[in-house]
């Protein structure tokens, strides 16, 4: 039975677009992301660059039928791998919101909390692109 390539659907195009945008931003404005690299990790700028390149590679791989399956798996792994940065961002903004107490800080913190479960549909899309769902 021949293995078929999953189709390039709107969700996969959306994930690729998200990765291209974010990956480019990682490379052009790395300082934007350095603060969310978990504090225990060294060489934050280099990690931001590596994750940016990985996002761009995954995006391009998702768009091509010959690489879509591998890129889907790599994309899912990347999303899991960067999840600690999202948690770090939420923890940092929780402290900031508590310290400042202003509405803007609390709203931004709420946004970071709401963002965490959004990783699941992105991972699902990546696995679907890999033909795993």
111 within some domain: no
Say how many domains are in the chain.
1
How far is the C-alpha of 74 from the C-alpha of 83, rounded, in Å? 14
Asked, for residue 112, whether it belongs to a domain, the answer is no
Could you tell me the pLDDT band of residue 3, with boundaries at 50, 70 and 90? low
Looking at per-residue pLDDT, the higher value among 1 and 35 belongs to 35
101 within some domain:
no
Residue 56: give the domain boundaries.
Answer: 10-83+118-127
Asked if the structure places residue 52 within a domain, the reply is yes
Taking 60 as the threshold, does the pLDDT of residue 69 lie above it? yes
Tens of pLDDT, residues 5-63: 888 999 999 999 999 999 999 999 999 999 999 989 999 999 999 999 999 999 999 99
According to the 3-state scheme, what is the secondary structure of 28-61?
Answer: HCCHHHHCCCCCCCCCHHHHHHHHHHHHHHHHHH
Direct distance between the N- and C-terminal alpha carbons of the chain, in angstroms, rounded to an integer: 18
Tell me whether residue 20 is in a domain.
yes
């Amino acid at each position: 039975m021949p293995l078929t390539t999953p189709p390039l659907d709107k969700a996969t195009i959306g994930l690729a677009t998200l990765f291209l945008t974010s990956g480019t931003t990682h490379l052009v404005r790395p300082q934007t992301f350095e603060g969310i690299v978990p504090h225990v990790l060294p060489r934050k700028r280099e990690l931001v660059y590596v994750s940016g390149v990985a996002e761009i590679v995954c995006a391009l791989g998702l768009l091509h039928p010959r690489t879509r399956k591998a890129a889907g798996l790599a994309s899912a792994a990347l999303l899991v791998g960067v999840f600690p940065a999202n948690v770090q961002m939420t923890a940092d903004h929780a402290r900031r919101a508590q310290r400042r107490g202003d509405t803007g800080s609390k709203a931004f913190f709420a946004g970071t909390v709401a963002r965490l479960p959004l990783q699941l549909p992105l991972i699902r899309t990546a696995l679907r692109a890999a033909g795993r769902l």
